[in-house]
Amino acid sequence: MSLQSQMLQVLSDRQTSRISFSFSGSTGLNIEVKPSSFLRVSEAIRGERITVSEGGVPPGTAQYDSEWNIFRVARGQEWSRAYNALLVHEAVHAAFDLARSRLPWLDNETAAYIAQGYYLRNSGFPRSRLDELGQPYLGLLLVDSIIRDGSPDSVLMQELQGTLLSSPQYHHYIRREFIGDG
């Protein structure tokens, strides 16, 4: 199966098609991710507006580059529920790019981690395999609160955003604005 076919399969599978949520972002903007977000990304891949490329990222990682409209996946990556969840995370960035969204990077990453948490939950990924201090785990806990209460728990939301703001991985852009250019 080609890399592009694998990506399309993840974006259209049952676990991804059940992802739907919204929250009030850090500036009060309504942030929304729904099944059509992933369908739009799939259509862009099929229409070659987004390229799927192997390499250019460390093993076990993936990245969506909004400047060049490229999904980069690790070379020789074994696809798994955990990796598929990461691809869903990156697809959220692509969806915001395609929609020409303007939002804080903090909200973009928060939405991506919640979507990743949804995929992990929907696929039955064992919680015991997640780092309880990591952003994917916090995303999963936020999903639990959305399902239970209809909206994300504010304390968990602050915790996730605090980890993003203090993480060296995100320090060079997390306080900036994301501007999607389609």
CA trace torsion 165, 171, 176, 178 (10° rounding): -100
Q: What CA–CA distance (Å, rounded) separates 100 from 147?
A: 28
Whole-number pLDDT of residue 180: 96
Selection from 19, 32, 20, 9 nearest residue 103 by Cα: 32
pTM of the full structure: 0.96
Q: Cα–Cα distances in Å, from 145 out to 21, 90, 140, 151?
A: 11, 22, 9, 7
Q: What CA–CA distance (Å, rounded) separates 126 from 140?
A: 11
**Domain chopping of the chain, boundaries:** 3-179
Whole-number pLDDT of residue 132: 78
Q: What CA–CA distance (Å, rounded) separates 146 from 144?
A: 6
Q: What CA–CA distance (Å, rounded) separates 137 from 132?
A: 6
Selection from 117, 106, 107, 112 nearest residue 92 by Cα: 112
Whole-number pLDDT of residue 49: 97
The DSSP result for 56-115, as a single string, is SS-TT-EEEETTTTEEEE-TTPPP-HHHHHHHHHHHHHHHHHHTT-EEEHHHHHHHHHHH
Q: What CA–CA distance (Å, rounded) separates 180 from 8?
A: 21
- Residue ranges of the chain with pLDDT lower than 70? none
Whole-number pLDDT of residue 2: 83
Cβ–Cβ under 8 Å, residues 129 and 106: no
Selection from 140, 86, 137, 90 nearest residue 117 by Cα: 140
Whole-number pLDDT of residue 78: 78
| CB-CB neighbours of 133 under 10 Å | 9
